[in-house]
Amino acid sequence: MSTPVLDVQGLAYAYPDGHQALFGVDLHVHRGERVALLGPNGAGKTTLVLHLNGILSAGSGGHGAGTVAVSGLPVEKANLSEIRRRVGVVFQDPDDQLFMGTVRADVAFGPANLGLRGEELDRRVMGALDQVGMAEYVDRPPHHLSFGQRRRVAVATVLAMEPEILVLDEPSSNLDPASRRELADILRSLDVTVLMVTHDLPYALELCPRAVVLSGGSVVADGSTYDVLTDDVLMKEHRLELPFGFDPTALPRR
């Protein structure tokens, strides 16, 4: 097998107050995979995500062990600027990522910090907005856009960095059905590795062939999303519930 795009080995982490959030997590994601990260609240999902681009590390005021690497490059202080280019995190609230006066300025912010200017910067900006279907809004203020449009622009701010892995935190939350479907179509069309943290189990099944279940700071399942969602014992034990009336077994196998 090739080097995983994301290689987490034996990751353990305790916060400074002593709360142990992760206990020896192993996770390997290869190029082009779309993987759902599932689990109840408090499972350690956010703590894991914050290690993927170095916001947290074993040395960041807590106590930890293990390693994280992105395409073979260790996530450590000396590599952080390159790691943050390779790992694009799209947060749950787009307003955490949109803070400039126009869509163009927001999407240009990251690549401009890498030193891009002029035509190359404009190519990156328009290319990223094209990918999310928002090119016509390039000169709009983000606060004039709908919530779903702002989430798509937030995805574009990350795509403009040409990341190797796109990490999405609850991408379907607060979206109306049409926006949810549009975002799903966009995510399916992207040629990028995806790790999607979500409580939206039908969305996970629709978009991610593979699911990893984190519970109590440990990986308790790693397999096809269909197999995970139809394992009644696993689901009940780890507080995962399908929406009323949603039956994966009634759908065609993907």
Q: What is the pLDDT of residues 193-242, one digit of tens each?
A: 999 999 999 999 999 999 999 999 999 999 999 999 999 999 999 999 99
pLDDT(36) > 80: yes
Query: For residue 208, what pLDDT is reported?
Result: 97
Cα gap 221→48, rounded to integer Å: 16
pLDDT of 60 above 60: no
What is the reported pLDDT for 253? 66
> Tell me, what's the pLDDT at 62?
58
Q: HSE-up of 105 (CA within 13 Å, CB side)?
A: 9
DSSP-assigned letter for residue 141: -
- Confidence class of residue 249 from pLDDT cuts 50, 70 and 90? confident
Q: CA geometry: angle at 244 spanning 179 and 202, to 5°?
A: 45
* Three-state SS at 40: coil
- How many residues are recorded in the chain? 254
Q: What is the pLDDT of residues 230-243, one digit of tens each?
A: 999 999 999 999 99
Residue 162 has pLDDT above 70, yes or no: yes
Mean pLDDT, residues 49-73 taken together: 83
Q: Which residues pair with 69 in a beta bridge?
A: 7, 74
* 159 confidence band (pLDDT: 50, 70, 90): very high
- Report the predicted TM-score, pTM, of the whole model to 2 decimal places: 0.93
Write down the pLDDT at residue 58: 65
Residue linked to tokens 């995970």: 228
The pLDDT of residue 254: 58
Interatomic CA distance for residues 34 and 160, integer angstroms: 19
- Greatest alpha-carbon pair distance for the chain in Å reads 56
Nearest to 168 by CA among 89, 69, 63: 89
Q: Span 6-250: which CATH code?
A: 3.40.50.300
What was the pLDDT predicted at 232?
94
94, with CB counted inside 10 A (0-12, 13-18, 19+), is: buried
Comparing 175 with 1, which gets the higher pLDDT? 175
Mean pLDDT, range 18-30, rounded to an integer = 93
| Residue 59: per-residue pLDDT | 57
Q: Beta strand pairing status for 63-70 and 73-74?
A: antiparallel
